[in-house]
Amino acid sequence: METEIIVAYCICDDVVKSLGIRENIQVTMKMAEILTTAITAGLFFGGNQERARIFLYEHRYIPNMLSKSQFNRRLHAIPKYVWEIIFAILANVFKQKNVTKEYVVDSFPVTVCKNIRINRNKIYGEEEYRGKCISKHEFFYGIKVHMISTINGEPIEMVFSPGSQHDSVVFKSFDLDLPKGSFLYGDSGYTDYVYEDLVNDATGVKFFVTRKSNSKRQHEPWLQYLIQCGRKTIETTFSKISALLPKTIHAVTSAGFELKVFCFVLAYSFNCLMVTT
């Protein structure tokens, strides 16, 4: 635990300094410490930031810990790009270690509440957040986390969308910042012949999608098998991320809910970092 906390703080502190963010001289708790507390909550406390806050204070990791209300205000005041840069730094490490240049894209649902409580939900009120999880054959209410990971299950890119958004539509919002000559595998939900050709021609990434039996563009059997084997790794990744999630994510606003989900994925990335190093 101590090693993960120290590594998280060092990376967060380096990011804040490299961005040239000047903090008010009156603050008693640095932005890097705020970031580290949120990541620690995702790593060890099921996203419970209050438990993480108390733990880091009592064990003297962060002696100048803010009160609960002050911490929450500071946490939500951190610009979104700071979180994204921390995630991107870890992603670059994973890309450098991924010598096979194989990547997988898929999505998994994160429910904001049970179906019976949808009418009382105040975080999301739109019908577009009602989606269906094909693998579990059930409906859910919340968001989808669309992710590109290495063949070893390390997160590279991530996009949030309402639960009803189709995978092939959201896929077009990815930057696809992958090394030239990479292989990207997806399931049949990403079938879009025109966009597949565009990705292959414009990005230098070889994008392969699992074909249905009635597809007009069938793959060779060996390639279909290779895609199916590669895709299994991201399902394991989603299982490990879901293991970090509590049964219900406590949040008052949609921004707070999505920040906690982001912190869980970021926490998983730190777990992957510790394994690779």
Q: What is the DSSP string of 265-276?
A: HHHHHHHHHHHH
Alpha helices in the chain (DSSP H): 2-18, 31-44, 49-58, 68-77, 80-97, 167-170, 193-202, 221-244, 254-276
pLDDT at 5: 93
Q: Please state at what angle helix 31-44 crosses helix 80-97, rounded to 10 degrees.
A: 60
Same domain, 115 and 212: yes
Report yes or no on 263 lying in a domain. Answer: no
Report yes or no on 256 lying in a domain. Answer: no
Give me the number of domains the chain comprises: 2
Same domain, 57 and 105: no
Which residues make Cβ contacts (< 8 Å) with residue 216, sequence separation at least 6? Answer: 193
Q: Sort 58 into a burial class: Cβ within 10 Å, 0-12 / 13-18 / 19+.
A: exposed
pTM strictly above 0.85: yes
Structure tokens at 222: 């060996």
Same domain, 46 and 106: no
Same domain, 142 and 69: no
Structure tokens at 38: 């949120």
Q: Tell me the three state secondary structure of residue 93.
A: helix
Tell me which residue range forms the domain holding 26: 2-78
Same domain, 228 and 114: yes
Evaluate the CA torsion angle 84, 94, 39, 241 in order and state its sign. positive
Which residues make Cβ contacts (< 8 Å) with residue 240, sequence separation at least 6? Answer: 153, 268, 271
Report yes or no on 89 lying in a domain. Answer: no
Q: What are phi and psi of 64, to 5 degrees?
A: -100, 45
> Percentage of the chain surpassing pLDDT 70?
99
Q: Can you give the length of the chain in residues?
A: 277
List Cα–Cα distances, 257 to 18, 122, 126, 156, in angstroms: 28, 12, 15, 21
Report yes or no on 140 lying in a domain. Answer: yes
Report yes or no on 93 lying in a domain. Answer: no
pLDDT at 51: 94
* Integer Cα distance of 108 and 146 in angstroms: 7
Same domain, 139 and 233: yes
Per-residue pLDDT of the chain (277 residues; tens, 9 = 90+): 889 999 999 999 999 999 988 888 888 899 999 999 999 999 999 989 999 999 999 999 999 999 999 999 999 999 999 999 999 999 999 999 999 999 999 999 999 987 778 888 888 878 889 888 877 778 889 999 999 999 999 999 999 999 999 988 999 999 999 998 999 998 888 888 888 888 888 888 899 888 887 877 887 888 888 888 878 888 889 999 988 988 888 888 899 999 999 999 999 999 999 886 6
Tens-place pLDDT, residues 97-109: 999 999 999 999 9
Same domain, 42 and 129: no
Same domain, 202 and 127: yes
Report yes or no on 240 lying in a domain. Answer: yes
Same domain, 198 and 157: yes
Report yes or no on 260 lying in a domain. Answer: no
Same domain, 142 and 218: yes
Is 166 within 8 Å of 189 (Cβ atoms)? yes
pLDDT at 277: 62
Is 267 within 8 Å of 246 (Cβ atoms)? no
Tens-place pLDDT, residues 205-248: 899 888 887 877 887 888 888 888 878 888 889 999 988 988 88
CATH of the domain at 222: 3.30.420
Same domain, 124 and 245: yes
Which residues make Cβ contacts (< 8 Å) with residue 80, sequence separation at least 6? Answer: none
Report yes or no on 40 lying in a domain. Answer: yes
Same domain, 241 and 113: yes
